[in-house]
Amino acid sequence: MGFPVIKRVFFSLLVLGLVGGTVFYILTQPEQITVASIPEHQVDLSNGEQMFWAGGCSSCHAAPGVKGPDKLILSGGVTLDTPFGVFRVPNISPDKKAGIGSWQLVDFLNAMRKGVSPEGEHYYPAFPYTNYQRMPVEDLIDLKAYLDSLPATRNDVPDHDLTFPFTIRRGLGLWKLFYLDQQPYSYSQSRKGAIERGRYLVEGPGHCSACHTARDLFGGEVIAAKYAGAPSFEVKQGENSGSVPNITPHEDGLARWSERDIIFAFETGMTPEYDSFGGSMVAVQNNLSKLSPEDRVAMAAYLKSLPPIASIKP
């Protein structure tokens, strides 16, 4: 191969690399909400508190093992050991340095709806913004106001410990093209009442699918097995804590549970077999017990309306 041929091949590869890099840069550009697009809204702190409990914010963002009023100190620290590496849940208290106290409303909306940080970087989907994107802006504004009212704590959480290539955040822009549809929830005209409210709470702030749905090779939810159970990535005493159960009305899941059973479990943590919830579900149940009775009824109604799907086998 003569020098002119080598030169042409090198030049062609250089052009292809530049074109590929440009396309990658364009496709992975973080999309952000602008201040001008935020609607006027009178803050409702009581609704913000309900969104806080529905969203289970304290389950992940309070220090592991805390109880009572300390659950409102969102210092972070929960560890998730996944096939992609170790994720550490951050401080989201109103502290201006360690937490999110310096965030403007638009920063919060971009995090929750777009999965983008105030610095313009993609967040990893261990933070369930694929669910939070369903929440109306008004609910998110109320939630931000409630978070701002909580105690600040200066606890610096270490960064994630991930393996290559997952350390390249920019690549998450491609992930979002497949798994983030950026469609907020809208109530169906054909389904009214409790089931529809339950659908919003379960699929939106409750982000139940984030734990109860298996993931594919790229970390996206397996839609055909939605709510049919998954491995648990929560680390307890150096070991993963088993699996997360099927919550569809399949015989592997909630087929034998009535709506009343589900509501009672949300209220008390007790199952129809007179057993109690364990693992991370203890904190989730504590959150659900603080919702209005109507919202617990709505969530139970929606779960019983799901298509029954057999549990995912390891």
Q: Residue 3 above 60 pLDDT?
A: no
Question: Could you tell me if 119 and 102 are in contact, meaning their C-beta atoms sit under 8 angstroms apart?
Answer: no
Q: Residue 198 above 90 pLDDT?
A: yes
Whole-number pLDDT of residue 182 = 77
Question: Could you tell me if 219 and 175 are in contact, meaning their C-beta atoms sit under 8 angstroms apart?
Answer: yes
Average pLDDT for 144-149: 96
119-133: per-residue pLDDT in tens?
999 999 889 999 999
- Between the ranges 86-90, 136-140, 159-163, 221-225, where is the mean pLDDT highest? 136-140
| Per-residue pLDDT band at 230 (split at 50, 70, 90) | confident
Please state the domain extents for the chain.
41-182, 189-314
